[in-house]
Chain A
Amino acid sequence: MDLRLLSERPSAEERSAVDALLGSPERGDGRVAVGGHAVRARRHLLLPALHALQDAAGAITRGGVAYISERLSIPPTDVFGVASFYELFEVDGPGGVTERPCDDIACMGRGVAPVGAGTHVEPSACLGQCDRGPAVLRHEPGRGYTVRTGGAIGGPIHQPRSQLRLLRRVGAVDPTSLDAYLDSGGFEALAKAKAMGGEAVIAELEASGLRGRGGAAFPVGRKWDGVRRAAGDKVVIANGDESEPGTFKDRVVMEDDPFAVVEALALFGFVTGAKEGFIYVRGEYPTAAARLEAAVAAAGERGLLDLAIEVRRGAGAYICGEETALFASIEGFRGEPRQKPPFPNEAGVFGRPTGINNIETLVTVLEVLRIGGATFAELGTEGSTGPKLFCVSGDVDRPGVYEVEFGATGRDLLDLAGGVAAGRALGAVLFGGAAGVFGGDDALDVPLTFEDTRAARLTIGAGALIVFDDTTDFEPVVERIARFFSDESCGQCVPCRVGTVRQGESLQRMFSNPASTPLEVRLLGDLAKAMDDSSICGLGRTASLAVRSAIDLGLVGAAHG
């Protein structure tokens, strides 16, 4: 394959930003790029290279694309296709400063944050700062990303520290100091694991009953065992893409306890036999990415890691949290989910057996090792063991991350967060974020366990509780949720690509013409069935949940339903 390149050339800044990542060019210029197998094997550097361009120019320019194509031996059309997939890449954009104020549902009650004059403004879905919103993500060429919020980095912890297991270091131990981490029990779990051996660790995990915290609740022991038994050159991944509206717990952990993430991933690698690991961090979390990079470097220098860990920054795509889309993203392709089977432990990233867990899941594994699987299993309920992080946001007095044992109810969490703000009455709670379910006051008494929420047709999802008071107009909230899904659909499969758009349109018609409600409700039901049944991935399969529950609860469409 000969590449035909664009005729535009990169600026000096673009060239040096890409060279800083890829090394200086060996050979090759003009309109035909040369490069054999070795160069093409670097396809996975495409996303970091696009970040380098965006950081240098504030946009993805034609000259920049030509340069990446040449350096990585990737056809320019492919580079363009990948760049145009991600929200944070301003393809052919004006350059300069971009500001992205959050206009999503947990911040709605607080308005949209002001943006700087003369900047390019792109309103954004939830930025994962709902505990201290309204938030703005700013990008400035040469200076990268910064987040402006109403509060401090990390998470203010509103609970007595003695109650905390997962969050015990947050705000108490310097997240930039390896020594501070070691002094607070850091790397003891990894040492213990090495002493007992991988099989024994899996036995502890199985005894613990720990299930994944990223939404699918898959048993962790079984997953790790599957990867351990797989043959081949394995990879382990920490999923820090956290983009579900109303969810920010993984950010708090990554920002304020980054060494714990690194230790847990190293442990995952030790048990499964993987020698390579990735931490995939949401592009909107610059502080988390920087602290994790520093933690990986510090732990590596101290000889604490047998696992080669790379921190990868996402670039604005909720779908890249879906595991197969995340693999595609790391490989340098568009973040499009793949049909399963094959499952990750058979053929994951680069076609290699892959283990992937959520950030919270991984740091919870450290707690299993610390106290032992059997003791861990005594925490929580029989079907849902251990501690769990919940993100409480919206109209409450003290939004934040709360750590409770499984079995706590929504009301317990609401009480921890100081109750509905300003002493108002409750309107509704959205359990699980945009891919979740609305519940009313009675739902607050359901223990938030996997088994009880399933029975009550609620969901835990990744642990978001977004609280709305009784003055809330739910129509814009529900429309924003519908728009979230049509904005974030990867566009691959028809039920989701077109279905999510039709869902939003149907709601708009229903809200502007209440007489059409019965008709639209039927249409929404027909759509939902097809999206649930025929979408490739969980995005399309959950895109109608919140909308339907809002209608069922009478939050919208009630008068004429």
Chain B
Amino acid sequence: MADLTLTIDGGTVTVPEGSTILDAVRSVGGDLPTLCHGPTLEPANVCRVCMVEVEGAGALVPSCSRVVDEGMVVHTDTDRARHSRTVVMELLASSADLERVDDRFSAWMEDHGADPARFTGATIEGRPAKVHDDLYVRDYARCILCYRCVDACGEQHQNTFAITVAGRGFDAHISTEFDVALPDSACVYCGNCIAVCPTGALEGKIAWDMKEAGTWDIDRQEVTRTVCSYCGVGCNLDIHTQEGAIVDVTSPEDHDVTLGNLCIKGRFGWSFVVSVDE
């Protein structure tokens, strides 16, 4: 594939054809905020926290999805781009509970000086979490509608189509059909939606309970890589333990076959053990 050259904030950068602006920025050690962009998913293009200025384009462009053109001139740090990113962060944080969002994102909010208190009004914060079983919790007061879980459950990973975006505008939300409880839906409890959720809206039951109780402490946790023994596929498992107890199981995103996905046995098999032990 041919290489393309572009200018980012005054510096010349060369990237392979097909790279996004975000790829190009990262290739030279820079970075931008992202939320809906998941490394294992097609860009959903919806959160708009990654916007940059491209000379010649009327509006700002999403860096996570806009593919680089030869000679493109990009500015990531103009007042205009920062203003937009800041307001979008403020709007998000004023409308949903971002307390458990990905750490990198909190750092970006601080970096941009985002002040969500400027925008008070309708919020989904405080909506009760949906706890329908012992495996995982859907705490939609934290949902920013990034579409990642829907894409992971649907045609991009799992092909189950248990969840969708329903409604429109500010009422849009993630739902099963007619909002039936998860056990009555098509859900197969693979937990692959949990793996891609950037806000803590989807969480394993044990992890969620511990976070609610304030006992979740990442500094006291260890992660052990192992291979799942339930079937012959051989998925990698990362077992997270806190003081000797299993608190979560994830799968490495950079695995080229499983892309962070698992099935119910790999992801939740341990929790039966835990519940029995208790």
User: Which A residues fall within an 8 A CB radius of B?
Assistant: 1, 3-4, 6, 62, 65, 75-81, 84-85, 91-92, 317, 334, 339, 486-495, 497-502, 505, 523, 526-527, 529-530, 532-536, 541
Chief secondary structure at chain A's binding surface: helix
CB atoms of A84 and B167 under 8 A apart: yes
Chain A residues with Cβ below 8 Å from B220 are none
B170–A529 CB distance below 8 A: no
* 12 extra A-B contacts, CB within 8 A, seeds A4-B185, A77-B162: A75-B177, A77-B175, A77-B186, A79-B177, A84-B175, A334-B165, A490-B169, A492-B172, A493-B47, A494-B49, A498-B119, A505-B122
Q: Is the CB of A80 within 8 A of B91?
A: no
The residue on B at minimum CB distance from A502 is B119
From A1, A75, A81, A527, B175 is in contact (CB under 8 Å) with A81
Query: Looking at B83, B120, B186, which has the most chain A CB atoms within 10 Å of its CB?
Result: B186
Contacts of B186 in A (CB 8 A): 3-4, 75-77
Query: Would B60 and A534 count as touching, CB distance under 8 A?
Result: yes
Q: Which of B60, B118, B161, B163 has the most CB of A within 10 A?
A: B161
27 of the cross-chain contacts (CB-CB < 8 Å) are: A1-B160, A62-B177, A75-B161, A75-B177, A75-B186, A77-B177, A78-B164, A79-B177, A80-B164, A85-B167, A85-B168, A339-B65, A488-B168, A490-B168, A491-B145, A492-B145, A492-B172, A494-B48, A494-B91, A497-B170, A497-B172, A501-B95, A502-B121, A505-B121, A532-B59, A534-B60, A534-B84
Within 8 A of A (CB), among B70-92: 80, 83-84, 87-88, 91-92
- Bound-state Cα–Cα, A79 to B80, Å: 40
For B172, the chain A residues whose CB sits under 8 A away are: 490-492, 497
Question: Chain A residues with Cβ under 8 A from B169's Cβ?
Answer: 486-491, 497, 500-501
Q: Which residues of B contact A80 (CB under 8 A)?
A: 164, 166, 175-178
Q: Which residues of A contact B46 (CB under 8 A)?
A: 492-494, 536
What chain A residues lie within 8 Å of B88 (beta carbons)?
Answer: 494-495, 530, 534
- Count chain B residues whose beta carbon lies closer than 8 angstroms to a beta carbon of A: 47
Determine whether B171 belongs to the interface, using a CB cutoff of 8 Å to chain A: yes
- Shortest CB-to-CB span from A38 to chain B, Å, is 18
Contact among B122, B180, B185 for A501, CB-based, below 8 A: B122
B185 CB contacts on chain A under 8 angstroms: 4, 77
Instruction: Using A80-B164, A529-B87 as known contacts, say yes or no to A523 and B119 having CB atoms under 8 A apart.
Output: yes
Cα A85 to Cα B173 in complex, Å, equals 11
Assess whether A501 is in contact with B170, with CB atoms less than 8 Å apart: yes
Assembled-state Cα–Cα distance A536/B171 (Å): 18
B150 nearest CB neighbor, chain A only: A81
A491, B170: Cβ atoms closer than 8 Å: yes
Known: A77-B162, A498-B91, A529-B87. A491 touches B175 (CB 8 A): no
* A362 shortest CB reach to chain B, Å: 26
The 7 A-B residue pairs with the shortest CB-CB distance in the complex, in nearest-first order: A491-B172, A81-B164, A75-B161, A530-B87, A505-B121, A498-B91, A80-B177
Chain A nearest CB from B142 CB (Å) reads 15
Instruction: List CB contacts (< 8 Å) of B212-226 with chain A.
Output: none
Q: Provide the B164-199 mask, 1 if CB < 8 A to any CB of A, else 0.
A: 111111111001111010000110000000000000
Do B178 and A497 touch (CB < 8 A)?
A: no
Complex CA–CA separation, A76 to B163 (angstroms) = 10
- Answer whether residue B94 sits at the interface, using C-beta atoms and an 8 A cutoff: yes
Q: Say whether B68 faces chain A, with CB atoms less than 8 Å apart.
A: no
Q: Contact string, B74-118, partner A, CB cutoff 8 A, digits 1/0?
A: 000000100110011001101100000000000000000000001
With a cutoff of 8 Å between Cβ atoms, the chain A residues found around residue B171 in the complex are 491
In the docked arrangement, what's the CA distance between A21 and B83, Å? Answer: 50
B30-47 to A contact mask, C-beta < 8 Å, 1/0: 000000000000000111
> In the bound complex, how far is the Cα of B175 from the Cα of A391, in angstroms?
41
Q: Which residue of B lies closest to A505 (CB)?
A: B121
Find chain A residues with CB under 8 A from B275 CB. Answer: none
A497 and B60 in contact, given A80-B164, A530-B84, A530-B88 (Cβ under 8 angstroms): no
Assembled-state Cα–Cα distance A529/B60 (Å): 11
Chain A residue with the shortest CB-CB distance to B179: A80
How far, in angstroms, from A78 to B167 measured CA to CA in the complex? Answer: 12
Asked if B260 is at the interface of the complex by the 8 Å CB criterion, the answer is no
Q: Which residue of A lies closest to B86 (CB)?
A: A530
Interface status of B62 (Cβ within 8 A of chain A): yes
Q: Contact at A534–B170, with CB atoms within 8 Å?
A: no
Give CA–CA (A527, B94) in the complex, Å.
13
Asked if B144 is an interface residue, CB under 8 A from chain A, the answer is: yes
- How far is B160's CA from A4's CA once the two chains are assembled, in angstroms? 9
Chain A's closest residue to B95 (CB) is A498
Given contacts A495-B84, A523-B118, A526-B83, contact A65 B168 (CB under 8 A): no
Give complex CA distance A92, B159 in Å.
26
Question: Chain A: which residue is nearest B88 at the CB level?
Answer: A494
User: How many whole Å from A509's CB to the nearest CB in chain B?
Assistant: 9
CA–CA, A78 to B162, complex, Å?
Answer: 8
Would A541 and B59 be within 8 Å (CB), given that A77-B164, A334-B165 are in contact?
yes
Q: Is B51 an interface residue (CB 8 A)?
A: yes
The 8 Å CB contact of B176, one of A77, A488, A494, A541, is A77
Chain A residues contacting B122 (CB-CB under 8 Å) are 501, 505
- Most chain-A Cβ atoms within 10 A of its Cβ — which of B46, B59, B159, B175? B46
| A488 to B167 alpha-carbon distance, docked (Å) | 11
Q: How far is the CB of A170 from chain B (nearest CB, A)?
A: 34
Residues of A within 8 Å of B170, CB to CB, are 486, 489, 491, 497-498, 500-501
Contact (Cβ within 8 A) A495 B48: yes
State in angstroms the CA–CA spacing of A536 and B186 once bound together: 31
Say whether, besides A499-B91, A523-B119, A530 and B83 are in contact (CB < 8 Å).
yes
Q: Render B203-241 as a binary contact track against A, CB cut-off 8 A, 1 for contact.
A: 000000000000000000000000000000000000000
